[in-house]
Amino acid sequence: MKIRSVTLVLPIAVLFLFTGLSLSLGQTVPAAPARQAKPAAKASSADEKARALLYKMTLDEKVGQMVQYSCRGNWEFTETVQKDWAAEGMIGSFLNVTGAAQTNGYQKYVMENSRLHIPLLFGLDVIHGYRTIFPVPLAEDCCWDPDLLEKCASAAAHEASAAGVRWTFAPMVDVSRDPRWGRICEGSGEDPFLGSVLAAARVRGFQGKSLSDPGSIAACAKHYVGYGAAEAGREYNTTDMSEIALREIYLPPFKAAVDAGVVSIMSAFNDLSGVPASGNSHTIREILKGEWGFQGFVVSDWASVKELVSHGYAADDPEAVQKGVLAGVDMDMQSGIYHNYLADIAKKNKVPMKLIDDAVLRILKVKYELGLFDKPYADEEKELSAMTTPENLDLALAEARESIVLLKNEKNLLPLSKNIKTVAVIGTLADSKKDALGAWHCRGEEAMEKVVTILDGIKAEVSSQTRVLYAAGVSPAAEDAPQNLIDEAVNTARQADVAIVVAGELQNMSGEAASRTSISLPGRQEEMIRAIQKTGVPVVLVLMNSRPLAIPWEAENIPSIVESWFLGHTQGSAVAQVLFGDFNPSGRLVVTFPRSLGQVPIYYAQKNTGRPGKADDKWTSRYIDSPNTPQFPFGFGLSYTEFEYANLEITPVTPTTKEGLKVKADITNTGKNAGTEIVQVYIQDIAADITQPIRKLVDFKRLTLAPGEKKTVEFNLPASKFGYYNEKGRFVVKPGRFNIWVARNAADSSLFAGFRLVE
């Protein structure tokens, strides 16, 4: 590794001038999310049609558009009642109605029997695929490839739309830094910048160029806002944060989704600094609908408005309705309290009619934009042919391969030879189709026969002369698994030239309502791995999981570790192609892996504190029984080749370009294999009015290089990259000293420079 350290002073009239912004010291600049409210957009055709329809609606019909029910639940709500209520205008949307025949049945009844013929909107958790299941979001984000994510979201949208589902409750854009939280698997990890880029990509993929296009579905950014900061990583728990943290960390991905055109936002379950998110007028009315000018609608999470009572924020259901509507929640999911109380509350002037009208207009506009009034039905004859097509499975395989992160590869044990004499594959997960699909696998089980397990993938990848032995070993769920299962796994390993141990979590150990107090390998899996390692047979550990795991012993003692996550239908093919060298792994972590649970929360963008941790100084911010550093840092991932970083250049650009700072570096593939490197740029503001992180990701690029090939990678950093929110909640860019890294990951210093922005 070559390290370049440069200190530059840029004696320019202020970097701001090179962005075309004539600013004096301390002057604020607009940056997302900005404080200023957007001007009202020009009325579209959908706006005009929605307004014309609104004038014809009764109060009850307006309220009905604000009501969503699930066709599945723990209450007596038959299909006949559902259809009748919808036809009477009391329900505007359903979730969990799937399949063209079923959605058409509901839709036809409403269109033929309702007074105003307003179509229903069907929503579903299409999180990482509809029938064709792609990697879980935390995995696919490790691609650092927004174009690929956009294509995969588009494929999911085409399948869902063919089944009559025109609205997905995705993407989840919560920033999360606590692996105990089960829903960390559903988001983009710990960084607000990367999360913003990937949130926008998913919105573009789901919604396409136009919502009215066949195959598009409405996206829904969730959970607004701060849900990823749930205390103790416990689902549905409270959150507490400063306005600065809210704006610096948790709001940016939502702003990126809004800028990308997302048409719905889901309000969260959590209490946010004392005010529940689904009753929070500051975040919904002031920021989302005010500052950002969001024109879509806000839907509650499942009964989250009713839960204002459980939070202790509302005395009863009617007050919860009042506070929810006043805060800006346009549609109530499932609880029925808008249905039961909103009309009466409006008649008593406890909720202004203009707020109800505004909510209904937002919902109707989306229905018009989706083309539901003109084409309310799905094509039942084309539904089946749209599902799990060869093209979608090929796309899923491409993304699955790029999602895999090589964490360790001592003495280049990987890739393995396809002509190896005997391979032992060990672990129940290696032969599990269901677990490969991960949490929130939508309708993926309907195509279970198409799932390729890791065992199947390995058998298909090796030569016909290779013996593949299999032992189930111990299950992740079995804390008291019998010793004979471990003995069988050890005996199987002894017969092989290499042991591929597949370990991790079951798919239901992450996702909603799947928080854990331990993030180590569950059950007796580590005990089994230790026993296999003692045989002296080389061990490759393949992890299947949806959260960062604490694996300190494995990281120290197992020569090769592959983080495969839950990859969906093509799990086995993707893993086998990486293990045997058909694909050079390029995935990079989007979340930090701790050494132990005691380090949590741990993330790369921490602050120095007044006494930065030093290993040789007790009186600093450090542990006495562990290093501060993580097991594997954010942005980390190995390759089957090597990359050299050299020749860092930092220059200001001309005032007319409005680009700010130009950063260049040469990246050379010095190894023997073609490979993809993800070049990452981090900055640090040395001294600011508000203390800043020790590093902050500001840009990245994917670079594919042949052996011996060199490319110059270039980044243009606008002035806003160097700004922050001050104590008054204003975004400012100020002169001062900065550090910049062009690096392999958040802990790497391959190329480093210091520079100064001067007045």
Which residues are the active-site residues?
Answer: 301
Q: Would you say how long the chain is, in residues?
A: 759
What is the 8-class DSSP label of residue 682?
E
Q: How far is CA 275 from CA 309, 410, 540, in A?
A: 12, 50, 48
- The first and second tokens of residue 113, run together, are 């029997």
Q: How far is CA 196 from CA 12, 203, 391, 716, in A?
A: 31, 11, 28, 18
Beta strand pairing status for 4-7 and 67-70? unpaired
Task: Say if residues 637 and 585 touch (Cβ distance below 8 Å).
Answer: yes
DSSP state letters, 350-394: SS-HHHHHHHHHHHHHHHHHTTTTT--S--HHHHGGGSS-HHHHH
Closest CA to 14 of 728, 535, 759, 651: 759
- The first and second tokens of residue 590, run together, are 């989007």
Task: Say if residues 441 and 507 touch (Cβ distance below 8 Å).
Answer: yes
Query: Which ranges of 404-509 would DSSP assign to H, the alpha helix?
Result: 433-437, 454-461, 483-494
Per-residue burial over 176-204, b = 16 or more CB atoms within 10 Å of its CB, e = otherwise: bbbbbbbbbbbbbbbbbbbbbbbbbbbbb
Task: Say if residues 471 and 586 touch (Cβ distance below 8 Å).
Answer: no
Per-residue burial over 492-504, b = 16 or more CB atoms within 10 Å of its CB, e = otherwise: bbeebebbbbbbb
Task: Give the Cα separation of 746 and 693 in Å (integer).
Answer: 12
Task: Say if residues 561 and 549 touch (Cβ distance below 8 Å).
Answer: no
| Cα end-to-end span (Å), the chain | 36
Closest CA to 711 of 754, 649, 668: 668
DSSP state letters, 638-676: B-SS-EEEEEEEEEEPPTTT---EEEEEEEEE-SSS-EE
Closest CA to 263 of 225, 220, 233: 220
The one-letter code for the residue type at 386 is A
Task: Say if residues 94 and 409 touch (Cβ distance below 8 Å).
Answer: no
Task: Give the Cα separation of 597 and 626 in Å (integer).
Answer: 11
What angle is formed at CA 400 by the lines to CA 397 and CA 402, rounded to 5 degrees? 110
Task: Give the Cα separation of 365 and 359 in Å (integer).
Answer: 10
Q: How far is CA 197 from CA 188, 515, 732, in A?
A: 10, 27, 22
Task: Give the Cα separation of 658 and 679 in Å (integer).
Answer: 23
What is the 8-class DSSP label of residue 239?
B
Task: Give the Cα separation of 386 and 753 in Å (integer).
Answer: 52
Q: Which residues are CB-contacts of 283 (< 8 A; sequence separation ≥ 6)?
A: 224, 225, 246, 272, 277
Task: Give the Cα separation of 134 and 379 in Å (integer).
Answer: 24
The one-letter code for the residue type at 404 is I
Task: Say how many C-beta atoms besides its own lie within 10 A of residue 343's C-beta.
Answer: 18
Task: Say if residues 592 and 630 touch (Cβ distance below 8 Å).
Answer: yes
Q: Under DSSP, is residue 486 helix (H, G, I), strand (E, B) or coil?
A: helix
Q: Which residues are CB-contacts of 534 (< 8 A; sequence separation ≥ 6)?
A: none
The HSE-up count of residue 515 (CA atoms within 13 Å, CB side) is 16
